[in-house]
Amino acid sequence: MQDIRSGNRPYVYIILLSANDRDGDIEHGFDLGADDYLCKPFKPFELRARLRVGMRILDAQKELLESRERLACQAADLEFQAAHDTLTRLWNRGGILELLKTEFSRTQRSGEPFSVCLADLDHFKRINDTYGHLAGDEVLHTAGARMNDALRGYDSLGRYGGEEFLVVLPGCTAEKAMAIAERLRRGIADQPIVLGHDAIHMTISIGVSEWQTGMEISDLLRHADVALYRAKDLGRNRVELKAAAQSSAR
């Protein structure tokens, strides 16, 4: 009977038919996996009644499994929504900060390099003022998708607030982080975002910060923020590194 129910096939309801009506034989039949038991000779109406019972049990089991699956999907969806931005589908502020804390703790233990980027879309308010907030939403969504496509599989990108994004780069030195940030910059600047009949040319400014021994998360973010504002002050559409002479101006 176990072979009948092997694999991922639907549950098979088994009615055991036997000429033996001794209690021990019936009990042995149930031990082997039978769901119900009929002794020979049986009456047709009795078999039909047992089959109806079996159908009700199978229907109830199917409904239970479907209910569990729906609840599991709902729970997964709620978990996703709790940690992701509804507009961009990227990590939201809380979600990306939790990932940052996890990577920060791992880096403190391992001593491996670790960097972050703060990226801000340039002159984003003009988009909302000129084309409307729906267009602004589409720009945010497209920009987020482009940046996400430019990252490595184990990097993390989240909407930090408004038109600002936080990028978590594990195992990344400042030099490598600058190269990745430059890819992000080009991914926005090199191709316009098409909205209907309009082609919107967007740029992004990015500040990079590398973790150093003794730094806290707040220091890492503050340094990236300082670098971001330097990029803005120097003309936008560029990448800047905190406390280093390196820059990438365009």
Is residue 138 among the annotated active site residues?
no
Nearest by Cα to 33 from 53, 15, 55: 15
Task: State the catalytic residue, choosing from 163, 164, 210, 240.
Answer: 163
The two structure tokens encoding residue 55: 């159908």
Residue 56, strand partner residues: none
Six-digit token string for 209: 């910060």
Contact (CB, 8 A) for 156 and 91? yes
- Distance from C-alpha of 214 to C-alpha of 192, rounded to nearest angstrom: 42
Q: Which residues of 120-132 are buried (b: 16+ CB within 10 A; e: fewer)?
A: bbbebeebeeebe
Alpha helices in the chain (DSSP H): 23-31, 44-83, 93-110, 124-131, 133-150, 174-189, 217-233
Catalytic residues: 163
